[in-house]
Amino acid sequence: MEKELRKEEPRLMKGNEALAEAAIRANIDAYFGYPITPQSEVIEYLMREVPNRKDKKTVVLQAESEVASINMVYGAAGAGARVMTSSSSPGISLMQEGISYIASAQLPCLIVNVVRGGPGLGTIQPSQGDYFQATKGGGHGDYHLIVLAPASVQEMADFVFDAFRLAEKYRNPAMILADGALGQMMEKVVLPPDGGLPKTPAPWATTGKTKDRNHNIITSLFIQPEEMEKVNLQLQKKYEDMQSEVRWEEFQTEDAEVLLVAFGLSARICQKVVDLAREKGIKVGLLRPITLYPFPYKRIAELSEKVEFILDVEMNAGQMVEDVRLAVEGKVPVYFKGRMGGMISTPEEILREVESILEKQNVLHD
Amino acid sequence: MNEKLLLEDGTELEQVFCRPDTLTDVPYHYCPGCGHSVVHNVLMEVVDELDIQDKTIGVAPVGCSVFAYHYMNIDMQEAAHGRASAVATGIKRVLPDKLVFSYQGDGDLAAIGTAETIHTVNRGENILIVFINNGIYGMTGGQMAPTTLPGMVTSTSPYGRDVHMAGYPLKITDLIAQLPGAYYVTRQSVHNPNAVRKLKKAVTKAFEYQMQNKGTCFIEVVSNCPSGWKMTPVETIKYLEEVMFPYYPLGDLKVPKE
């Protein structure tokens, strides 16, 4: 986001509300959703604010279910609209059927998952337990979403623009994967510029067949195996192209002997761990994937050449750690520290983990 | 239309009838005697006559008519099983000046998509829902549908539908008619030329109401499935008249108070 365009004063906002306001400023044509904790403020904010924006023609509709919402998204996206939905874990599970169809029909849209603890009805407390579902397909078939993981209220707002930009560039659904805490916490945010996201032309959309073109069809049905394979290969080629969009952030990795890898809120906590460790003379660095799909395999592989070990920190039972291990290919040990069910590791807890691994390693070295 | 045709022998003919541009040149895949092709023709003839090809967007279902978008020469979207009316809602909400219809069978609309159907109508979405009810799952090989009649033999009710075990046929159109969002609800058929003409009138009315933003129009077409019913096309007509129509009586269920 260009700094010079940000002329507004910072505001104090909840993550969910900053995201909703950014969506209005991204000129979304429509939002379809169903309330679920901890992200209901998204639809509440839109219902409250959109009628006051006389310059906006945004549709905001509360559907009867998440299943209906995602299929409304499908219809609107197929009609060429900039459209989004938001939900939380159990609701996102209900949407998986529709997300698979949208990915196959190659429609751009934004799906926001403000993750809570699971499985099942789980808890309304924050979690990162939906990493697998978000990055490995989630629904049936071979497909991927573009997945962005914010770590601040600022990014809850900014990533709405980024997600639509990427979704429309690749004609692929994008997901913002945030945990419940990011949805609920209040922070300073400088909002993205109103109308700062140009519309992408959609000549493929169902807007009514005109004389000068053939009828447009939006479908995910390719009943001939030869045709289906072609579509699948085309999708895979697209995912390959997307690898160039991989984004991550690093903190003090230059001289790091220990590398932490964490995303979202866990990465925020790990920044503190880096500071605490360095006060004690332990050279810890942090890599934070911003795009969870595509994943920064290459950069993690490079860093693994320079560190003693890697500690992956998540709010789940260890999901991203599998991708980290794939990147490292056994070159250095990869450890995991996680808590679940809405529990969050403290910086001190993570630092103790780093120290105890170091101790064990020293014993081995001696 | 009305173009002059010059034959090889020099005779000049006035063309008074041709395949409308609203139908593609793709041959229908439907079984002989099935009602789908007739309903497709009726829909597209109305689109042609009202000159709304450039304004009409259709939503195709999962089921035998899954390829409707190959035959109808208009912009169309394919929906997941049961979700057609939600997809249609999404299209209509962002393109309110266009005319949107969904085309769904009984498994699609009255089983897996019951919630979407009822809530779409209850919101009074300004769309047309075309509901083909042949009382059976045609595409998957003739299994029991929610609309299968008591005693009717299907592959999953091989001894005839037992209402104590499988429940009663769902008259979803009667349910729909009670909702305030429903503006025009009618039950038609295509089993003879007179019925086809009546259906065409109903479809025309429904599109006209949609142009006037009146609310949801819902047209059930009680149809046949020669393959699923294991009957000849002629036998299915007799079965429609003698067995289906008494349970699903033809006619309007809800008409606007003019």
**Arithmetic mean of pLDDT over chain B:** 96
A107: phi then psi, degrees, rounded to nearest 5: -110, 135
In chain A, residues with a C-beta closer than 8 Å to the C-beta of B87 are 71-72, 74-75, 78
Q: Which residues, 6+ apart, have CB-to-CB distance to B161 below 8 Å?
A: B144, B148, B149, B150, B151, B152, B154, B169
CB B90 within 8 A of CB A74: yes
**Arithmetic mean of pLDDT over chain A:** 96
* Number of residues that make up chain A: 366
What number is the average pLDDT over the span B147-167?
A: 97
Domains for chain A: give ranges and CATH numbers: 3-244 (3.40.50.970), 249-365 (3.40.50.920)
Beta bridge partners of B14: B4
Q: What is the DSSP letter of B154?
A: B
Q: Which residue has the tokens 């032309």?
A: A201
Half-sphere exposure of B3 (CA within 13 A, CB side): 5
Tell me the pLDDT tens digit for each residue of B118-140.
Answer: 999 999 999 999 999 999 999 99
Domains for chain B: give ranges and CATH numbers: 21-254 (3.40.50.970)
CA separation for the pair B163, A41 (Å, rounded)? 46
CA separation for the pair A247, A294 (Å, rounded)? 8
Residue A245's pLDDT band, with cuts at 50, 70 and 90, is: very high
B55–A contact, CB cutoff 8 A: yes
**Residue scoring higher pLDDT (A183 or A362):** A183
Q: For residue B76, give the nearest of A79, A232, A179, A18 by alpha carbon.
A: A79
CA separation for the pair B36, A58 (Å, rounded)? 37
Nearest to B83 among A71, A76, A216 (CB): A71
* Contact: B24, A211; criterion CB under 8 Å: no
Q: Is A299 helix (H, G, I), strand (E, B) or coil?
A: helix
Tell me the pLDDT tens digit for each residue of B40-52.
Answer: 999 999 999 999 9
Stretch among A7-11, A170-174, A237-241 having the lowest mean pLDDT: A7-11
Q: What is the DSSP letter of B138?
A: T
Q: What pLDDT score does A165 carry?
A: 98
Helical axes A15-25 vs A153-170, angle rounded to 10°: 40
Tell me the pLDDT tens digit for each residue of B73-82.
Answer: 999 999 999 9
Nearest to B90 among A67, A76, A217 (CB): A76
Q: What pLDDT score does A5 carry?
A: 59
Stretch (H or E) spanning A167: helix A153-170
Residue A365's pLDDT band, with cuts at 50, 70 and 90, is: low
Chain A residue with minimal CA distance to B68? A217
Whether residue A192 has a cis bond before it, omega within 30° of 0: no
Q: In what order do the strands lie in the sheet with A291-293?
A: A59-62, A30-33, A83-87, A109-115, A173-179, A146-148, A291-293
In chain A, residues with a C-beta closer than 8 Å to the C-beta of B56 are 208
What number is the average pLDDT over the span A140-158?
A: 98
CA separation for the pair B199, A139 (Å, rounded)? 39
In chain B, residues with a C-beta closer than 8 Å to the C-beta of A101 are 80
Residue B14's pLDDT band, with cuts at 50, 70 and 90, is: confident
B53–A contact, CB cutoff 8 A: yes
CB A87 within 8 A of CB A81: no
Q: What pLDDT score does A2 carry?
A: 53
Torsion angle in degrees (nearest 10) through CA of B110, B113, B116, B122: 0
CA separation for the pair A93, A112 (Å, rounded)? 12
Chain B interface disruption, residue of A57, A74, A216, most B CBs within 10 A: A74
Helical axes A66-78 vs B84-94, angle rounded to 10°: 50
What number is the average pLDDT over the span B145-154?
A: 97
Q: Is A172 helix (H, G, I), strand (E, B) or coil?
A: coil
In chain A, residues with a C-beta closer than 8 Å to the C-beta of B59 are 75
Q: What pLDDT score does B182 carry?
A: 98
CA separation for the pair A207, A205 (Å, rounded)? 6
* Biggest CA pair distance of chain A: 80
Strands A309-314 and A334-338: parallel
